[in-house]
Structure 1
Amino acid sequence: MNGREILQKMKVKAGFGTSSGGDRGKGKGKMLKNITHGFHLVKGKSAHAMEDYVVAKFKQEKDKELGLFAIFDGHLGHDVASYLQNNLFDNILKQEDFWTETESAVKRAYLITDEKILEQSFELGRGGSTAVTAILINGQKLVVANVGDSRAVISKNGKPKQLSIDHEPSKEKTMIESRGGFVSNIPGDVPRVDGKLAVARAFGDKSLKMHLSSEPDVVVETVEEDTEFLILASDGIWKVMTNQEAVNCIRKAKDAQAAAKRLIEEAVARNSKDDISCIIVKFQ
């Protein structure tokens, strides 16, 4: 076992990845045996500690089975991402109208969670985190939300459909400027909010919050017969692969866990230097 594999096991056991499959990084529902998931994380080449956190588990809620899946990609420290791992889904499910007005409930929970993070900025630090979350309800309804540049993609008959929006500063320049901020565009670098942050929406980041948004985009997707799998992944994947390349890479993998590992190995082979995490949910 090499150093990265040892680190992976340590991160999972420490709570960086949680799943009904324990430290194996895979699991399946109790009611929906045909739906399985797997996840994998790899530390990037930067000097800082691993800043990605994962949630991947099934949960019984009243008479429904929920699949709860999320990638939290921290920056300037991992405390905000850790807080999200432990609290965001609880805050979503506490919304009384979650079952009837799902989209508005998820948006409200994101904003409430961000407020709580900002209130605890002394303990959690000055950093922040992006997030992409997916809630699978009874294997039929998929509710995806995101802030930042982690991404959700489903495959239907080998064709990708992106369910999230990459919140890049260049795309949201008008909003940032309307809040009194600016977007830098220095040659050789990516556009950044106030010359610092490479995403236009995020949790935390108290020093930039006046110029950032934490409002998620929310999409509700019906799982159909041709829906093969869902990919949730941090930007360490998407910096080096297109949606179609990611789908092609894992479509023939033997199971969800093998697919997650294979996707990250391909990104590393393409010289992705960032922390990388991904979750695969297979429907067939």
Structure 2
Amino acid sequence: MGQRGPSGGFSLLGVIKKAACLDGSKPDTGKGKSKFKSSLCMNKVSHGFHLVEGQSGHKMEDYHVAEYRQKKGHVLGLFAIFDGHLGDRVPSYLKDKLFNNILDEPNFWEDPNTAIKNAYCSTDKVILENSLEFGPGGSTAVTAIVIDGKDLWVANVGDSRAVLCKNGIADQLTVDHEPHTERGRIEKQGGFVTNLPGDVARVNGQLAVARAFGDENLKAHLSSEPDIRPVRIDSSTEFVILASDGLWKVINNQEAVDMVRNMKDPQAAAKKLTSKALARKSKDDISCIVIHFG
């Protein structure tokens, strides 16, 4: 969980240096596929991504993960988008640590649901315990783990979203954790939800999501517990789109699926979606990963 500083406290030096390396003024784009071989793999997996800095007056706060690993004879595809707010320290840390924490859970292979939930919560605990270095900000998260090309585990906190295309039909795999839908829990914990004219609902008049990593000042009324959805990948499972709310604010689920369903190149598909969001005047950072199966 990071390095120790001279005083014995937690140090974010390495994380901050990595965050500074991302030039948010230029699109971050790429694609790849698994190079690992395994007799357990049932479907080919490939991906493409495209991230674009928004016009909100701050530097890029979105981070992504798109990589493959071989572990205990299994081939894993690891994909995520972290949409930060009030700085990029929390999403940068999540990029470096969250998947490691999930896979290090001793019960991951037997009970992925519990392992993912525990790792989300323990990772958030570290962030909160070191809030002086992480600062006041936080991050949403949507993560997808593909196991041997046949099992998909999707989890999220906040409003970054995963949408599956199956036989051409869009299926939202995640839950948008909006303040008005969790008003009861927030008020029970001593918080409140505002819904002022011309604005979205906000926790304590500040944050537009009801679940997130970090955000120490609001944590008494926020949750870091993810919603988790398992999916069995079969011949009708075509692709999954992961994207931050900068995309979903201006493009609905079925429209996104229809827009890229006939595209064989997942990188071109991700770029098309972000370009369409920009054309529709989305001002937020826009991040998108398209994961193809078969």
- Fold shared per TM-score above 0.5: yes
The answer to whether the Cα contact below 8 Å between 2:19 and 2:89 also exists between their aligned partners in 1 is no
Q: Is 2:37 aligned against 1:29?
A: no
Shift of 1:253: 1.8
Counterpart secondary structure, 1:38:
strand
- 2: CA distance, partners of 1:246 / 1:16: 27
Aligned length: 269
The equivalent of 1:192 in structure 2 is: 202
Counterpart secondary structure, 2:276:
helix
Shift of 1:13: 10
Structure 2 CA distance for partners of 1:188 and 1:148, relative to 1, 3 Å: same
Counterpart secondary structure, 2:141:
strand
The equivalent of 1:251 in structure 2 is: 261
1:151 to 161, 167, 180: 161
- 2: CA distance, partners of 1:90 / 1:14: 21
The equivalent of 2:239 in structure 1 is: 229
Amino acid at match of 1:197: L
- 2: CA distance, partners of 1:14 / 1:257: 22
Shift of 1:157: 1.4
1:72 to 78, 82, 100: 82
**C-alpha RMSD of the superposition:** 1.8
The answer to whether the Cα contact below 8 Å between 2:19 and 2:92 also exists between their aligned partners in 1 is no
Q: Please list, as runs of the form range in 1=range in 2, the aligned pairs for 1:261-280 lying within 5 A after superposition.
A: 261-280=271-290
Shift of 1:14: 3.4
Shift of 1:249: 1.0
- 2: CA distance, partners of 1:62 / 1:212: 36
- 2: CA distance, partners of 1:121 / 1:142: 33
Amino acid at match of 2:165: S
Shift of 1:254: 3.1
The one-character-per-residue Cα deviations of 1:78-113 (angstroms, maximum 9, x if unpaired) are 100000000000100110000001101100000000
The equivalent of 2:7 in structure 1 is: none
- 1: CA distance, partners of 2:275 / 2:171: 22
Amino acid at match of 1:45: Q
Moved more, 33-42 or 228-237: 33-42
Shift of 1:158: 1.0
Unaligned segments of structure 1, at least 5 residues: 1-10, 18-22
The equivalent of 1:4 in structure 2 is: none
- 2: CA distance, partners of 1:254 / 1:98: 32
The equivalent of 2:139 in structure 1 is: 129
Counterpart secondary structure, 1:197:
coil
The one-character-per-residue Cα deviations of 1:109-164 (angstroms, maximum 9, x if unpaired) are 00000000001111111000000000000000000000000001110111001110
- 1: CA distance, partners of 2:273 / 2:68: 22
Q: Is 2:90 aligned against 1:85?
A: no
Amino acid at match of 2:34: G
* TM-score after normalising by structure 2: 0.88
Structure 2 CA distance for partners of 1:40 and 1:65, relative to 1, 3 Å: same
Amino acid at match of 2:60: M
- 2: CA distance, partners of 1:151 / 1:15: 23
Amino acid at match of 2:168: G
Unaligned segments of structure 2, at least 5 residues: 1-17
The sequence identity of aligned pairs, in percent, is: 60
Amino acid at match of 1:28: K
Amino acid at match of 1:77: G
Amino acid at match of 2:133: E
The equivalent of 1:14 in structure 2 is: 21
- 1: CA distance, partners of 2:263 / 2:276: 13
Amino acid at match of 1:29: S
Shift of 1:34: 2.8
Amino acid at match of 1:210: A
Poorly superposed stretches of 4+, deviation over 4 Å? none
The answer to whether the Cα contact below 8 Å between 1:16 and 1:53 also exists between their aligned partners in 2 is no
The equivalent of 1:120 in structure 2 is: 130
Q: Is 2:108 aligned against 1:98?
A: yes
